[in-house]
């Protein structure tokens, strides 16, 4: 049980970015941005054959060379099942939870999915199948709501998430 501001959760899962390949890509891109910044802004040599103005490079450096790498280690998908619904939050992009009340659920199931093919990757994604909140892997709980919207919640423990939802609905 989790106590957050006096609210108890029956189930709680916190997922963070753990894939080495993601960190390697980020390290490479961050290094490239830093390299361009140092060459053009610090050393006053044009970066590339058609260099961007320094202000553009400084903005890119600040966002992708500093902000993004500092933000990523703190990024986490939090999924909670409480007695009144399912709560999801992708911190730091969401400061509060998004609630799906159990009365909104028409159908739910554990399923294996293809993150790139169905949703275009990981994170908060929209695809032909509806919305997805996923951090890693290819398993989750698919929710279908009475308003015909679909939401996939990626999980490292999809059966436990499913069971927690079922236990609360069957109460």
DSSP letter, residue 124: E
Structure tokens at 109: 């199931």
Q: Rounded to whole angstroms, what are the CA distances from 76 to 30, 92, 122, 123?
A: 20, 8, 12, 10
Confidence tier at 1 by pLDDT (50, 70, 90): very low
CA angle 80, 119, 167 (to 5 degrees): 25
Task: Compute φ and ψ for 96, nearest 5 degrees.
Answer: -130, 165
Please give the pLDDT value at position 22.
77
Residue 118 and residue 75 in contact, taking contact as beta carbons nearer than 8 Å: no
> pTM of this prediction?
0.78
Residue 61 and residue 34 in contact, taking contact as beta carbons nearer than 8 Å: yes
Please give the pLDDT value at position 145.
96
Is the confidence at residue 2, as pLDDT, over 60? Answer: no
Task: Compute φ and ψ for 34, nearest 5 degrees.
Answer: -60, -40
Residue 106 and residue 144 in contact, taking contact as beta carbons nearer than 8 Å: yes
Please give the pLDDT value at position 3.
44
* Mean pLDDT computed over 109-136: 90
Structure tokens at 52: 């961007």
Q: Mean pLDDT over all residues of the chain? A: 90
Q: What is the pLDDT of residues 15-28, one digit of tens each?
A: 988 778 778 888 99
Q: What is the pLDDT of residues 48-84, one digit of tens each?
A: 888 899 999 999 999 999 988 888 888 999 999 999 9
Question: Hey, is 93 helix, strand or coil?
Answer: coil
| CATH architecture of the region 2-14+75-169 | Roll (2.30)
Q: How many residues are given for the chain?
A: 171
Q: SS3 helix, strand, coil % of the chain, rounded to 5?
A: 35, 35, 25
d(CA 20, CA 1): 31
What percentage of the chain carries pLDDT values higher than 90? 63
- Do β-strands 105-112 and 130-134 pair in parallel, antiparallel, or remain unpaired? unpaired
For residue 93, give the nearest of 106, 74, 120 by alpha carbon. 74
């Amino acid at each position: 049980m989790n106590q957050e501001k006096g609210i108890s959760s029956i189930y709680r899962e916190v997922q963070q970015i753990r894939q080495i390949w993601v960190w390697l890509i980020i390290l490479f891109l961050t290094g490239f941005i830093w390299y361009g910044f140092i060459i053009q802004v610090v050393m006053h040599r044009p970066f590339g054959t058609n260099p961007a103005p320094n202000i553009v490079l400084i903005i890119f450096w600040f966002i992708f060379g500093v902000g993004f790498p500092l933000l990523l280690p703190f990024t986490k998908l939090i999924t909670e099942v409480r007695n009144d619904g399912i709560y999801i939050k992708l911190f730091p992009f969401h400061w509060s939870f998004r609630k799906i009340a159990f009365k909104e659920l028409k159908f739910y199931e554990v399923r294996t999915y293809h993150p790139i093919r169905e949703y275009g990757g990981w994170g908060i994604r929209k695809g032909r199948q509806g919305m997805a909140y996923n951090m890693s892997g290819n398993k989750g709980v698919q929710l279908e709501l009475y308003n015909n919207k679909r939401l996939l919640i990626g999980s490292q423990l999809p059966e436990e998430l499913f069971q927690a939802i079922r236990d609360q609905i069957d109460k």
